Amino acid sequence: QQPVQSPQAMILREGEDAVINCSSSKALYSVHWYRQKHGEAPVFLMILLKGGEQKGHDKISASFNEKKQQSSLYLTASQLSYSGTYFCGTESGSNYKLTFGKGTLLTVNP
Amino acid sequence: EAGVVQSPRYKIIEKKQPVAFWCNPISGHNTLYWYRQNLGQGPELLIRYENEEAVDDSQLPKDRFSAERLKGVDSTLKIQPAELGDSAVYLCASSLDFGPRVDYGYTFGSGTRLTVV
């Protein structure tokens, strides 16, 4: 079951904050977040495991709400380098399979 | 440390022709994935290997797609014959451990962009 990401796209000014959401209709065991720049490989940002934890490094953090079956990625004081497409990958069920959402295109302008 | 290496970077072929993609994962990574990414979409899993065993190939179109991972290291994904709808980016990824619950996530290669004309 493919997770639903929102918004599909967003444009920010440098220094602004952003939140990207990832929702599933099934119970989640883990959520991955990746950033992909145009023509490049997706790059792993972080993983959240079942248990409702929050993680973060630098100005990028994420939460995992087990009851709501959703995860959110928080980008604080965005930088130009944050531009790209953000994908969440969710693991639901016991098949150890990661299914990716359609992505959120983030553009950060000066 | 070298990342996941894929070749070729780009490939243009005529429909009905065969094509093969090669992937060299990070040394020591036991799990290898092949994903297909259509334009504007997220990666879609085709096949997952644990060492040399294909443990999930449920989404691999087996009438035309095949894959192998000899000796549990390099992997090759083949399409024969290619169709127009196969145009996409084919991504290879590897991870240290089995399944998605790995601290360092998946490491993706830069992919092979296939265009079928």
| Each residue's pLDDT tens digit, A80-108 | 999 999 999 998 876 778 999 999 999 99
Instruction: Using CA coordinates, name the residue in chain B closest to A48.
Output: B101
- The mean pLDDT of B52-56, rounded to a whole number, is 91
Contact between residue B102 and residue B26 where contact means Cβ atoms under 8 Å apart: no
Structure tokens at B25: 């994962």
Residue A95 sits in which domain range? 4-109
Q: What is the CATH number of the domain that holds A8?
A: 2.60.40.10
Task: Return residues 38-97 of B near A (CB < 8 Å).
Answer: 40-45, 48, 56, 91
**In the predicted model, is pLDDT for residue A58 greater than 80?**
no
**In the predicted model, is pLDDT for residue B49 greater than 90?**
yes
- pLDDT, tens digit, for every residue of A19-50? 999 999 988 889 999 999 998 999 999 999 87
- State residue A52's pLDDT score: 61
For chain B, which domains are there?
5-112 (2.60.40.10)
How many angstroms separate the CA of residue B74 from the nearest CA in chain A? 18
Q: Which of B31, B35, B41, B90 to mutate to test the interface with A (most CBs of A within 10 A)?
A: B41
Domain count, chain A: 1
Return the SS3 of B84. helix
Flag whether residue B2 sits within 8 Å of chain A, measured between CB atoms: no
**In the predicted model, is pLDDT for residue B10 greater than 70?**
yes
- State residue A1's pLDDT score: 83
* CA distances for A78 relative to A26, A106, B56, angstroms: 31, 10, 38
- State residue A94's pLDDT score: 66
- State residue A75's pLDDT score: 96
